[in-house]
Structures are given as C-alpha cells and as structure tokens.
Structure 1
Amino acid sequence: MKKLTQISTVLLASTVLLAGCGGGPKTTDNAASTAASGGSKEKVKLTIWHNWSGQDAKALAMRKILDDFKAQNSDIELEIEGLPTDGLKTRLKTVAAANEMPDLFVMWPDAMTKEFVSGNLLQPINEFLDSKPEWKGNFIPNALDGYTVDGKIYSVPMNLSPTSFIYYNKALFDQYKVQVPKTWDELTAAVKTFNDNKVIPIALGNKANWAVQSTIFSSIADRTTGTEWFLKAAKQDGAKFTDPEFIQSLTTLKSLGDSKAFQDGFNSIDQNQMRQLYFQGKAAMFIDGGWAMADVVQNTPKDVLANTHVALLPPVNGGKGEAQTTSGVVGTGLGVSKKLTGAKKDAALKLFYALSGPEGQQATLNSSTLVSYKIDLDPSKAHPLFVELNDLMKTTKITPVYDSKLSSATVEVINNGLQELLMGGNPEAIAKKIQDSQASSLGK
C-alpha cells in the first residue's frame, strides 16, 4: 500500500500546520462569520495534507483538482502541504499522538484507519455518502471495507493499490535471451544471466524501509504461506510468525538477495532513484506497486518505455498460495478530522467530494492509476502500458499487504527486519521478533 504502507525522518513531524494563520478575524468551526462592514462572508480555512508531491501523472492530476477547487471556491482558503508518502505517514502518526490532525489528510485503509478511529481522531461520513447514493453505490465490491469500523464508514478509496508487479524491459530480456519469468526457477536464472552480463537484475530502493515489505515480501509470503495462514497469524489465532512456512518465506527473500538480484546500496536509495536506474537502462526489472505506472508513463525515456511491460511475481516452489495474485489494498482515502463542525465541516466534505467523487475518480484513471470505482477505461485515451496493467488486473486477485493488517509496532519490526534480512540477517531470529511484537500488540 505507495503505494499501504510502501517511514521517513521524524524531524518532518516537528512542525504542525495551524489553521487560521493569516490576518484578520478567524473563522469559527460552527459557521463562517460575517464581516462587520459590507456583510460579506469570511473565508473558511482548511488544512489538507497529501502525498501528491511528485511529478508523476497522478500527482499532477490531483494538484490540478486542488487548484481548480481554489479557483471555484473563493470562500474557502486552503492551506496545502504535500509530502512524500513515507514522510506523510511519519508526520500523521506524530500529530495523531498530540491530537493535532489537519482538517483533511490522505490516509491508508485497515490498520491506520482502525488506529485513528480508536484514537477518536476521525469522524464518519455515512450521512454524506448516503446523500449521494449513485456515488456510494459505484465502488467495486468490498471497496469500503478497509475504511469501515463497527459499521461506520470513515473514507472512500481514491485509487486501487495493488503493490507488487514486475516492470521489465523486454529489449534487455531479448538481448540476453532471457525468458520473462513464469516460475521461480526462471526468475533465479534471469538474475544469474543479467548479473553475468553486468546488468542490474532488479533495481531496488528500500531507503524508506516499507518498500520491500509492501512491494516484494507481501506477495512472496502469500505465495508461500497462503492468505488464510497470514490472516490467522495477524490475529494470533491458530498461526504464529515462527511457523515453518513463514520462516520459509523469509528464506526465499533472503535467497533472492544472496543471489545478487538487487544492486549494491539498495537500502540507501529511494523508489524514485530506483526507477531512475531502470529508466536509464541499467536495470532489467524493478518491482513496484500499481502507483508506479503514473511515473513510468510520464517520465520513462521513449525507447525504454516502448519496451516496458508488466508481469506478476512467479509462484514460489512448494508454496501454498495462489499464483495469479498481487498483494494490495483498495487505495488511499481522505480522513476528516473529528474536530470539524459547521461551515468548516461542510467545506471539507465539498473538497472531499471534489477529490474522491466521480470526477476525481475519472481524473485518477486518466492519470494511468487504477481505481476502486466502476469506470470503463477508454483504450484510445490511455497509454498502452496502462491498458496492459488494467487488463492484467481483470484476472488477478488481490491478497493482503502485510502493513495493512499488522499493528504499527509490528510493521516497524518487519520493515526493519527485512532490511536486516537482505543484509545477511537470520530468518529465524527475525521471525521471532515479528511474532513477539504482534503478540504483544494484541496482548497475547
């Protein structure tokens, strides 16, 4: 989940945006006050934090919606802050601890939603959704589940986030007579051939340590253990992370690292730098979520883009999971601060609808980003590579990404543990740390 949850330095969390920092009298939460002279309505001020800070097509599309909203709503003043995904996650957790949430903010389904609800930080949007039944009824099945707690809905997905695809350069595969891997043995053989020819087999950027967990390990683990085992282990109900099948999934990832599948220094570069290695033709593959497509179609050099295709990780030998799957979640949503009332709440919901309503969903799809909303893709208006990805998803099942089901504390343990594993760490020792953390988080 850029892309679940895909953090960054805690120093980013030290500054909190303050609504109403401009001149003049402040707007109340209950209503926009009327100025003493002229009877004009004072602006409602809203803070919004998002992760559309890059130059990919999705980020550009979302920022355009924000710009258009400002131009069309002179009575609403937006204080906007864009952060990279890892920085946003860190910042949100910090302000959540202090109960100083922005008015609107991009957030993630399942684990983050549940934790924010338990912290009394979010307000449900059931009434607002029910007022727009055509919108509410057009999401794909189960799309709202990750934002639903005890029957109350707290957001809707603004995209669909499968987290694990192989993006590969077919020209390099053809040049070195390598098969696009459909089995684990073929993947291992491809890694060896590319290494022998001094081509990076799989570019990796794991500086933000969620990347390996979200984009590679969650799928490897599901293919090894099966989904049912993981859901039991996450609940600590009949399965443990020290079980042999989970240790085998860690061993499989370690073997991939030991085979030099990834370039040296992968823990010191981010995903943008990872993609640059691929864009420059230095890497045959990279593994990333569906969110990467918006960057690929926008910024890949034409010669590389023309030869780029997408595939799924192959099945793991002896694994219990399904092959035609990718880990993922329904996608990020917008959280509405529990503190909002009156005119400020109305303004926030208006912006919420602009970004995640039908027009926002269409803009997202048009930016080569998958959505959890029922819209037909027009192949004549979409990049062929996005059409390829969209068609692949029609036959691909989404399995849980680890950071959407585990506690925040355990997510940190597994993210750090996978970094350690790829640097030579012991699978059994790392498995025990993960098990101890999840059991402690659930009081078991």
Structure 2
Amino acid sequence: MAQKWIALLCSAAMLALLLAGCGGGSNAAGGAGESGDKVSITIWHNWTGQDAKAVAMRKIIEDFRAEHPDIDVIDEGLPTDGLRTRLRTVAAANEMPDLFVMWPDAMTKEFVKGDLLQPIDEELNANPEWKDNFIPNALDGYTVDGKIYSVPMNLAPSSFIYYNEAIFKEHGVKVPETWSELETAIKTFNEKGVIPIVLGNKTNWVAQSTLFSTLADRITGTDWFLKAVSQDGAKFTDPEFVQALSTLQDLGKQGAFQEGFNSIDETQMMQLYFQGKAAMVINGGWALANLVNNAPPEVLDNTHITILPAIEGGKGDPQTTAGVVGTGLGVSKKLTGSKKEAAMKLFYELAGPDGQKATLNSSTLVSYKIELDKSQAHPLFVELYELMQKVKITPVYDSKLGSAAVEVVNNGLQELLSGGNPQDIAQKIQDAQAAAAAN
C-alpha cells in the first residue's frame, strides 16, 4: 500500500511539473503575472515640475508601486511640448507606451483613427459611481463613434489674467474690465518701466493657448470658429478672423509684452512674474498650482485673477475663457492580459475618485463633482474656483484643429508678433485646415 501511495505521489508531481511548463508559455502574450513574475508597464506623463499637481501625481505612482510589488511601473516624465512631440513621433511608428497623458478632441481622434488606442467603456461601466460623477459633457472630448477612450484628469481653462494688485495700486492703474482699459494699463506700465504682460512664447503654443484662443473668440464667436474648423460656412480668411489676428498684433505693437518674448518659455515667463517685474501674466488654470507652490509671498499675496476683457463689437460671449476638460490617460491598443489589468489599476488610481480628489487638493480644477473644502484650500485657488462658477469654457484652438493646422497657427502667431502680415498668416491657416478637413 505504501509503495502504491508513493507511485501516486510521484505521478502527481510529474503532472504538476508538466502543467507548470505548459502554463508558462500560455501567459506570454499577456505579459506575465500568473507564475509570480512581475508585470511591467510603462507610463509617459508631463508631471515633471514641482507644482502641487505634479507632486501629487508622482506620489500616487510611488504609492502604487509600494502597494503593488508585483507590478513594475516604468514612468517617464517630459515637459508638455516635448511629450506632445514624442507621442506623435512614436504614434507614426506604432510604438506607444502602455499608458500616456494625452489631450482630448483632436489628439484623441487622431490616435483612434490610427488604431493606437483601446476604449475603456468596460472599466467605466463596471464602476458607475466613477463614470456618473463627471461634470456634464466632460467625456465628450474622449468619445469617438460612441466609445470612450479616456476621462479628464483635470479641468483646463487656458486663459486667465493673473495680476499683481500691489503694482496696479502703486501706479494708480485700474484692473481692466474693457479693452480700452487694458490698452490704457499697457501704456501706463510702459511709461513706468513695468512689463505690462509677461509672455514666454518660445515653444509657440503659449500665445495661441493662453491668449489668442480667447481673444479670437471674443471677436468671432464660438459658432464661427467651429464652422471654420469643419470648413462648413466659414473660413480662416474671413474678415473677423483677420481682425482677431490684427488685434493680437496691435497688442504687440503697443508694447504689451516684454522684448524677446519669443525667446523665453513658459517657465521663464512665470519666473519674471514671480520676480515682480510684470504687472500681469496670462496663463491657464494650471499656472495656479505653480504660483501657490513657488511664488514668493510678496507676489503670491498680491496676486488676483480675472478674464480677458470684452472687445467692443465682438460676436463672442465676454464671460468665457478658452479651455478643455483636461488631459487624460491613453491606453495602448496593444495591451492585453495581465499587462492591461495592471495598467488599468494604475489608470484608476490616477484618474478615479481618489486621483480626482488629490488633483483638487493640489490647487488644480477638476472635471469631476467634488465640493471644494474652502477652509483647507489656498485663498487664490478659492478665487479661481469661484470665478469658474461664473464663466463658460470655449474651445481652445489646439483642441479642435488638426495637428498640422495647429503648428501653422502656432508658428503663424510667432510670425505675426514679429511683424508678419495678418492676411498672409490667415491664408496659411486656412490652407492647412482645409487640407485637414478634406482627409
């Protein structure tokens, strides 16, 4: 009997070894995990700075590593403009990372068209308390042909005037509520040797995103812009758009910006404001976290927020600011099995309810229904939060135009502010968008 039991045990052991050998090969496509090996996932992001939002997101990744020792998270941070460029480079070669920060509307549509993304409807539908708590229309920019490919991780109004009230008071200047008052402020600050509006347009998206998208909407109205994007009933050579280009150029001619504004970037731009050398800086809602974290007290305590003034005769709603619902995370189409499961766990930590709360607590607006604890938030963030209850979001140009047309706009605005002809630049933009709309 003992010999029979020994034989049975030996047979069982041999069978177990054979099954283990077969199982190891069957998991290769999914990336590992069943046999106890680590699953490795990659994520590219733009949380590179020391602002509270970037710090909060990096902490979530570090905490995730600690809580999931079986998952190896390989993250790479790149500045925003560098990330955009690199994503489009690897997209052309179909070599996307597993997870990556991406933008709604145009980029999402391009990546879906390129068969680079996979939808996340299954995960959202499995967590209705997550899916149903986004603000109205928040998922629209990530929805293509009825499928949802990401969720916004913040709310990104792109155009506010941050102004140093102490500088305004020192020189007896009124905070501008009309376009003529803005022009008067520019004239007075120039006479006093103060930079009226500091601008850092080296990476060329800054003028378009933080200033021109809102300025142009003040003149053309949103309906005109959307028609021009689709090339259905409007063109970028129309008089109202040429007027918008001319109005931006006029600001430059009046000395609104410091010399060399096309040779410094957004970081250097904010540094000049932090140093008290400028009365105003025009930037997105994302700049507030940087202000709260890095501005010296004498600047931070005197900084307040308003929107671009109305332009007389303009067709747009003056109680608006350009923007988008915010960046999201793309999931590579190639992900399957345990790698996809691991990636979606990290996705949920960063973009789920806890991630949204961490973002709001980092002085960053969200597209998610969370009540702000005003007793805990920085007063400047409370000011921004309350301002956003009164204004609406209009499209920022680079969220709606094709990528080739965006480059033409960005380069065109640099040329415009260096003395280029508005009508010639309008024609270049029209040609680029007409080509994009035809594809």
TM-score, normalising length from structure 2?
A: 0.93
- Alignment pair present for 1:215 and 2:236: no
Q: Which residue number in structure 1 is paired with residue 106 of structure 2?
A: 111
Q: Which residue number in structure 1 is paired with residue 173 of structure 2?
A: 178
1:285 Cα deviation after fit: 0.4
* Cα distance in 1 for residues equivalent to 2:200 and 2:51: 17
- Residue of 291, 295, 298 corresponding to 1:296: 291
* Cα distance in 2 for residues equivalent to 1:28 and 1:64: 31
CA contact (8 A) 1:29 1:344 kept: no
CA contact (8 A) 1:27 1:43 kept: no
* Cα distance in 2 for residues equivalent to 1:117 and 1:45: 24
- Alignment pair present for 1:265 and 2:232: no
* Cα distance in 2 for residues equivalent to 1:65 and 1:440: 42
- Alignment pair present for 1:227 and 2:222: yes
- Residue of 430, 435, 442 corresponding to 2:437: 442
CA contact (8 A) 1:27 1:42 kept: no
The one-letter amino acid paired with 1:380 is: S
Gaps of 5+ in 2: 1-24
**1:157-197, Cα deviation, whole Å (9 max, x unpaired):** 00000000000000000000000000000000000100000
* Cα distance in 1 for residues equivalent to 2:31 and 2:234: 52
Root mean square deviation of aligned Cα: 1.2
The one-letter amino acid paired with 1:438 is: Q
- Residue of 296, 309, 328 corresponding to 1:314: 309
Structure holding more helix per residue: 2
Q: Which residue number in structure 1 is paired with residue 277 of structure 2?
A: 282
Q: Which residue number in structure 1 is paired with residue 419 of structure 2?
A: 424
1:141 Cα deviation after fit: 0.1
Q: Which residue number in structure 1 is paired with residue 13 of structure 2?
A: none
CA contact (8 A) 1:51 1:106 kept: yes
1:414 Cα deviation after fit: 0.4
Q: Which residue number in structure 2 is paired with residue 60 of structure 1?
A: 55
* Cα distance in 2 for residues equivalent to 1:377 and 1:33: 40
Q: Which residue number in structure 2 is paired with residue 252 of structure 1?
A: 247
- Residue of 337, 341, 344 corresponding to 1:342: 337
* Cα distance in 1 for residues equivalent to 2:432 and 2:290: 35
Q: Which residue number in structure 2 is paired with residue 28 of structure 1?
A: 28
* Cα distance in 1 for residues equivalent to 2:34 and 2:195: 63
CA contact (8 A) 1:163 1:215 kept: yes
* Cα distance in 2 for residues equivalent to 1:27 and 1:53: 35
| Equivalences for residues 42-53 of structure 1 within 5 A | 42-53=37-48
* Cα distance in 1 for residues equivalent to 2:89 and 2:233: 34
Gaps of 5+ in 1: 1-24, 36-40
* Cα distance in 2 for residues equivalent to 1:341 and 1:322: 46
Q: How many residues align?
A: 415
Q: Which residue number in structure 1 is paired with residue 187 of structure 2?
A: 192
* Cα distance in 1 for residues equivalent to 2:30 and 2:258: 55
**1:133-161, Cα deviation, whole Å (9 max, x unpaired):** 00000000000000000000000000000
Q: Which residue number in structure 2 is paired with residue 77 of structure 1?
A: 72
Percent identity for Structure 1 against Structure 2: 70
1:28 Cα deviation after fit: 3.0
The one-letter amino acid paired with 1:435 is: Q
- Alignment pair present for 1:361 and 2:356: yes
Report the CA distance shift for 1:280/1:398 in structure 2 as closer, same or farther (over 3 A): same
- Alignment pair present for 1:144 and 2:142: no
CA contact (8 A) 2:186 2:255 kept: yes
* Cα distance in 1 for residues equivalent to 2:209 and 2:154: 16
Q: Which structure has the larger Rg?
A: 2
* Cα distance in 1 for residues equivalent to 2:216 and 2:67: 48
* Cα distance in 2 for residues equivalent to 1:131 and 1:442: 36
CA contact (8 A) 1:27 1:45 kept: no
Task: Spell out structure 1 runs of 4+ moving beyond 4 A.
Answer: none
1:313 Cα deviation after fit: 0.2
* Cα distance in 1 for residues equivalent to 2:26 and 2:301: 54
Report the CA distance shift for 1:29/1:173 in structure 2 as closer, same or farther (over 3 A): farther
1:443 Cα deviation after fit: 1.9
* Cα distance in 2 for residues equivalent to 1:28 and 1:325: 52
